[in-house]
Amino acid sequence: MPGPKTSIEVSGVRGHVTIGDNNVVVSAERSFVQIVQPGQRPAPVARQDMTLLPRRPQAAVGRERELAELRSGLDDHGAWQIHGPAGIGKSTLLRQAAHRLADERGGAVVFVDAAGREPGDVLQDVFEACYDAPGYRPAHTELRRLMADVTADIVLDDLEVEAEDLDTVLDALPSSALLYASGQRTLLGKGGTLALGGLGHKAAMTLLSQTLGRRLEAAEEPVAEELWRRTSGAPLPLLRAAAADRLVPAARLDGLLPELLAALTGVERDVAGILAVARDGGVSMRLLAFLLDGTTGLSAVCDRLEARGVVVATARGHRLAPEIGGVHLAGLRPGSAELAALARQLTHWVSMAGTEAAAVVEDTALLTAVIDAATEAGRSAEGARLARAASPVFACSLRTGAWGRVLERGIAAAESAGLRDILAYLMHEDGVRKLVSGKRLLAAAAFASAAAYWRELGSDGHASAADAAAQSCGGDPASGADPAAQPGIEGSGGSGSDIPDLGDHGSVGDINQEVGNQLVSSLPPADPGSVAMATKAGVATKAGMSVSAKAVIGGGLAASVTAGGVVLSQQADAESVPVKVTVATRVLEANMPGDPEGTCLVGEGATDCTKVVKSKKGEAGPVSVDPAQPLPAGVSLVYWGCDEGAQSDSCSVTSDKARHVCVTTTSFTDEAARRRCAELTGSPMPTAMFRPLAWTTKTEVKALLKPGGRPQVLATTGDAAAPGMVVWSEDAAKVAWLETGTGPLGPDGAGGDVIKLRDLKSGVEHSWPCFGCTIAFLDGELISGGGDIVRYPANGGEPVREDLDEIPNRLGHDGPPDTMLLNVWNGDRLQAYAVSRVGDLGQQSVLFRLESPTKARKIRDLPRFGYSGLVRTVSPDGARAVVEPPNGQPPYNSCGEGSYPAALLDLATGAQTRLDGPGVGYRVDDTWFDADGVAHVVYRAEKGVDATSCFADADRAAVHYTLASGAGSWERSGKAPGRLLAVADGRQITHVADGGALTLVIGEGAKKSVLDTDVQWTYPSAAHAGDGS
């Protein structure tokens, strides 16, 4: 039968709760423990309706794809994690997903806010949602047995746990699906993960428009474009920029949040001040209403603060925006007198007859923070009294992790204030908590300390009881043997061998390990249970082009705790080894722990720094760099020198010897850094990460989608038609191509073209007709040029035409299309350019960069192109282009009778470095820029009787020219052209002439093998295989 219900009385909090096999009699004077006799353990009853949902958020703009992926991912894996930096929208997406799961899957959905909480307390929330068992917290083994019968979707927001605790959570939910969100990826090899990035262009524009409550005006569109790029699509800074009636320019982003905070007055300032004390844990609306009693329209005040991006909504209330820290946070926090008053208010609240334990534990973050802040401000007596009043309420809540945090802070406050009566009580309660959590040795020490204090105060009865409790925890520490339990006697307790408190690990057979783990378990709530080497308070986050990050060294690599936080072990009596961590990147600024080795450069969006920390030999733990904002699209972190090997996407280190870890990114700009990381860690030189490759033959479109895989035929056109250009989305998850001559008849009676779009994840393919068009991807959306810019919905819907004001129309004709598109990698972003022919044929051409499907920015006027000229490619920095200007018009429908010069065009000055090429009979076959900015142009001879049968003559040698950055003339290369198109299984894929045919080969020398023959054109999905993107 269910156990006794928790009771709270004004005269002194009392209650009976059962934790594992321990019945705890909670008292405002002194609690004690009794062993639950066999057959007396409460019998939980499964609830008929287990669903527990958060308030339904507004629709997550631009997140339909992610919601669908989460839905299918839970079906496939049973566990799924969303991870990403603060402000990217994880909580909004997770709450939306919880409601979507409840609507679509039909089963129970349990949503729990895990921010700043110990995993054992979180699991108790889940247990209580599924079972009716008042006053009972099952031991972990019993919890697993009970939850084995529960089939539900468990959704946990802000679950920041170490790998060991994550395993414990997963083990406790054997029959349920788990979906959770956290800052960094932790679900390694146990399920699916979703790295949540910023919003795409269209979604970002929609969010800005919704926030403004109207459509964007024409004058605001350039501002919106720049905001989207500067924030990388992160929703929170976008909301902040649109909080007023007008958009805030991107140049003001860095100073916008301080401006908003400085403008706070009245109740808004009071709310922000309370939230500033609680930090990441936030405060419930229920408690805010109590603390600001008499305030009208409090919900509206919080909504206004949320709309401005000053606060963020949680499942039960609000918390400050994650970027608020440093001097801005300090400026919001109450002064000494205000903190003392706040502590007295909270003391009264927790002691009130109508305050439930569940409500109190919801606001653990504020209660513990006020105790700490009051102590730091010299008002430790108020902090100690708050802990004294709160302790029995937390005991009755069954959240032993939160109870422990209150006790820890209260003990420090009581010691500072010299309040020995409160100190004795809190030490005794800490002994009770440790006892029921399975930490007998630490419990004995706490009981003994409480006895000593009570004895000094003359409270011999309390002292004798505490002594007896300490003795009941005795036994041989080396063996971990448990003395005989004494049921019914105050202070006695069971062995706790089945540890129910997952926030407090330790071995009863090793006092040193137990003490060390106890220190770890008492870390601040921002990262419970971890031993991270850098705290959130030390991270300087900012909006803008620079990405800030923290380097974290955790797990067993960290070994001691100081007043300033966690530091690496410097124990003189333990053998230690150095662990060096180098961060070398031009993508982010990293805040790193440890002692610098040499010059440490961090700034201007880059990091070049090595720090050294000492670790006890044989310990292990993770090393990670955690960005505070999203990395550029397609860019990820990469590690060398880790247990996982070189070029890993995560890193753990065992300090069995001196170790050197090097961290950089897959960015195009970090290619040199990747080579340096390999050298520093003694690893093989980096191999490029595989990116898919497409190519065309005379009648087929093919692709290599996996390293070591076989080429796949995407399309076969037949003899009456031919494959056209192929383009890839930025993430290489989608591919599109043209099939010429297979569509509806064009204006001249000739066959039109067909656009094909395939989603490689789902395998779904869509098609649309077009005439004389070119295609490109822009921010993940397929577009075409010809006349207008046309957008093609990913769901296969009707195309949408966009008549861009910046690109003027010209008279129609039977020549090339008005607008030709090309995709070019600019650094780490896939950019779309448009070459538009303005006016009559041959009069003027203009190069535009497409900022969005509805917005273009003119780069410069181009040479007159006529029929045959075009822009071949643009350099990664967007400063130069290889163009193919005409040199007279070859005979119409001819082959091998024309001359095709090329030129490098400086897009800033218009200066050209001309290349005449080999002469008549040769055409430009390939152009590209390599990682060092060198321009390449390859010519091949033409062969055929007319334009339709004209193709490259593989029997004749190609001619290869290069132009180094800053050089004044082109040079003919002595090397045979062999552009590196992709890398698969460490082997290079190149396009070469072999045996009279143009061939794709993989590998070199004796290990070379043919991938395909009679290859016409190649289409890599990255700028060049060495960019690692």
Together in a domain, 874 and 744: no
The last residue of a domain, from among 195, 214, 242: 195
pLDDT at residue 373, rounded to an integer: 93
For 394-420, what is the mean pLDDT?
Answer: 91
User: Looking at the structure, do residues 852 and 752 belong to the same domain, yes or no?
Assistant: yes
Same domain flag for 824 and 754: yes
Q: Which of 548, 558, 583 is nearest to 653 (CA)?
A: 558
Instruction: Let me know if residue 289 belongs to a domain.
Output: no
**The domain that contains 906 carries what CATH number?**
2.40.128
Distance CA 966, CA 911 (A): 12
Assign 565 a pLDDT band (cuts: 50, 70, 90).
very low
DSSP state of 356: -
Contact (Cβ atoms closer than 8 angstroms) between residue 194 and residue 69: yes
pLDDT-derived band of residue 495, with 50, 70 and 90 as boundaries? very low
Per-residue pLDDT, averaged over 880-903, amounts to 77
- At 338 the pLDDT is 92
Mean pLDDT of 324-328: 83
Q: Which of 668, 673, 703, 710 is nearest to 689 (CA)?
A: 668
pLDDT band at 542 (very low <50, low <70, confident <90, very high): very low
Residue-wise pLDDT tens digits, 460-482: 888 888 888 888 775 333 333 33
Q: Residue 744: pLDDT above 90?
A: no
The H or E element that residue 420 is part of is helix 420-436
> Would you state the pLDDT for residue 528?
26
pLDDT band at 825 (very low <50, low <70, confident <90, very high): confident
DSSP state of 15: E
Residue 134, in any domain of the structure = yes
Q: Is the pLDDT of residue 226 over 80?
A: yes
For residue 605, the 8-state DSSP code is T
953-991: burial string, b at 16+ Cβ within 10 Å, e else: bbebebbbbbbeeeeeebeeeeeebbbbbbbbeebbbbb
* Percent with pLDDT over 70 in the chain: 79
Specify whether 676 is located in the same domain as 691. Answer: no
CATH number at residue 72: 3.40.50.300
Q: What is the pairing mode between strands 131-132 and 45-46?
A: antiparallel
- Of the listed ranges 228-232, 551-555, 603-607, the least confidently predicted one is 551-555
| Model confidence band, residue 811 (pLDDT cutoffs 50, 70, 90) | very low
Q: Cβ distance 529 to 520 under 8 Å?
A: yes
Residue 584 forms beta bridges with which residues?
Answer: 608
Report yes or no on 270 lying in a domain.
no
pLDDT at 540: 30
Amino acid 483: pLDDT: 33
Structural domain harbouring 744:
717-862
* pLDDT at res. 742: 66
Q: What is the CA radius of gyration of the chain?
A: 33
**pLDDT of amino acid 126:** 94
Task: Give the whole-angstrom CA distance, residue 533 versus residue 996.
Answer: 61
Find the mean pLDDT for residues 785-806. 84
What are the distances in angstroms from CA 808 to CA 560, 789, 804, 856, 1015? 68, 12, 8, 11, 37
Asked if 276 and 327 touch (Cβ cutoff 8 Å), the reply is: no
Mean pLDDT in residue range 512-532: 31
Q: Which pLDDT band, with edges at 50, 70 and 90, does 427 fall under? A: very high
Q: In the predicted model, what is the mean pLDDT of residues 869-894?
A: 77
Beta bridge partners of 697: none
Residue 648 belongs to some domain of the structure: yes
Between 301 and 816, residue with greater pLDDT = 301
User: Exposed (0-12), middle (13-18) or buried (19+): which is 327, by Cβ within 10 Å?
Assistant: exposed
Q: Do the domain assignments include residue 557?
A: yes
Higher pLDDT, 535 or 146: 146
Determine which of 234-238, 403-407, 442-446, 668-672 has the lowest per-residue pLDDT on average: 668-672
pLDDT given at position 522 = 31
pLDDT of 544 over the 60 cut: no
Tens digits of per-residue pLDDT, 83-133?
988 888 888 899 999 998 998 888 899 999 998 889 999 999 999 999 998
Rounded to a whole number of angstroms, the distance between the first and last alpha carbons of the chain is 60
Is residue 349 a contact partner of residue 290, using CB atoms and an 8 Å limit?
A: yes
Kindly tell me if the per-residue pLDDT of 1029 is higher than 50: no
362/500 same-domain check: yes
Structure tokens, 380 = 């430790």
Q: Give the domain-ending residue among 838, 862, 886.
A: 862
CA atoms within 13 A on the CB side of 514: 19
User: What local confidence, expressed as pLDDT, does residue 521 receive?
Assistant: 31
Give residue-wise pLDDT tens across range 694-716. Answer: 999 888 999 998 877 889 999 88
Q: What is the DSSP letter of 199?
A: P
Exposed e or buried b per residue across 356-367, where buried means at least 16 C-beta atoms within 10 angstroms of its C-beta: ebebbbbbbbbb
Could you give the C-alpha distances from 472 to 26, 52, 430, 462, 707, in angstroms and in order?
19, 41, 15, 15, 63
Both 129 and 73 in a single domain?
A: yes
Side-chain-side CA neighbours of 1025 within 13 Å: the count stands at 23
Would you state the pLDDT for residue 2? 33
HSE-CB for 116 with a 13 A CA cutoff: 24
Lowest-pLDDT range, 546-555, 755-764, 889-898? 546-555
In a domain, 317, yes or no: no
For 13-68, the pLDDT digits (tens) are 346 666 776 666 676 777 767 666 656 778 899 999 999 998 887 777 888 888 88
**What are the angstrom distances between the C-alpha of 801 and each of 770, 849, 852?**
12, 18, 13
DSSP 648: B
Identify the band that residue 882 occupies on the pLDDT scale cut at 50, 70 and 90.
very high
Could you report the per-residue pLDDT of 713-739, keeping only the tens digit for each?
998 887 767 888 999 998 888 999 998
Q: For residues 147 and 877, give the distance between their C-alpha atoms in angstroms, rounded to a whole number.
A: 56
Nearest to 540 by CA among 332, 324, 330, 333: 324
What pLDDT band is residue 188 in, cutting at 50, 70 and 90? confident
The DSSP element (H or E) to which 450 belongs, if any, is helix 440-457
Pick the closest to residue 172 from 133, 118, 122 (CA basis): 122
Confidence of residue 987 (pLDDT cuts 50, 70, 90): confident
- Asked whether the beta carbons of 722 and 740 are under 8 A apart, the reply is yes
In DSSP terms, 284 is beta-bridged to 317
Establish if 313 belongs to a structural domain: no
Q: Cα 365 from chain centroid?
A: 24
pLDDT tier, 552 (very low <50, low <70, confident <90, very high otherwise): low
542 and 676 inside one domain: yes
* 38 and 75 fall within a common domain: no
Q: How many domains in the chain? A: 7
72: CB partners within 8 A, 6+ apart: none
| Greater model confidence, 953 or 409 | 409
Residue whose C-alpha is closest to residue 406's, from 446, 365, 374, 437: 365
- According to the model, what pLDDT value does residue 339 have? 92
What DSSP character marks residue 386?
H
Clarify whether residues 108 and 224 are in a common domain: no
pTM confidence score: 0.57
Secondary structure of the chain: what % helix, strand, coil (to 5)? 30, 30, 40
- HEC profile for 754-799? EEEEEECCCCCEEEEEECCCEEEEECCEEEEECCCEEEECCCCCCC
**Of residues 701, 683, 681, 685, the one with CA closest to residue 693:** 701
Cα 750 to Cα 331: distance, rounded to the nearest angstrom: 72
Q: Is residue 316 part of a domain?
A: no
DSSP class per residue in 798-852: --EEE--TTS------SSS-SEEEEEEEETTEEEEEEEEEESSTTTEEEEEEEEE
Enumerate the β-bridge partners of residue 929. 935
How large is the average pLDDT for residues 296-323?
Answer: 88
Which residue, among 302, 312, 316, 322, has the nearest Cα to 526 in the 3D structure? 322
Phi, psi of 874 (to 5 degrees): -125, 145
**Which residue did the predictor score with more confidence, 321 or 567?**
321
Residue 699 shares a structural domain with residue 656: no
How does pLDDT run across 327-364, given as a tens digit for each residue? 888 888 899 999 999 999 999 999 888 888 888 999 99
Arithmetic mean of pLDDT over the chain:
79
pLDDT of residue 928: 87
pLDDT at 889: 59
pLDDT classification of 385: cutoffs 50, 70, 90: very high
* Domain end marker among 457, 483, 517: 517
The answer to whether residues 74 and 80 touch, using CB atoms and an 8 Å cutoff, is yes
Q: With b meaning 16 or more CB within 10 Å and e meaning fewer, what string describes 224-262?
A: bbbbbbbbbbbbbbbbbbbbeeebbebeebeebbeebbe
Q: Are residues 415 and 432 in the same domain?
A: yes
Whether 662 and 614 share a structural domain: yes
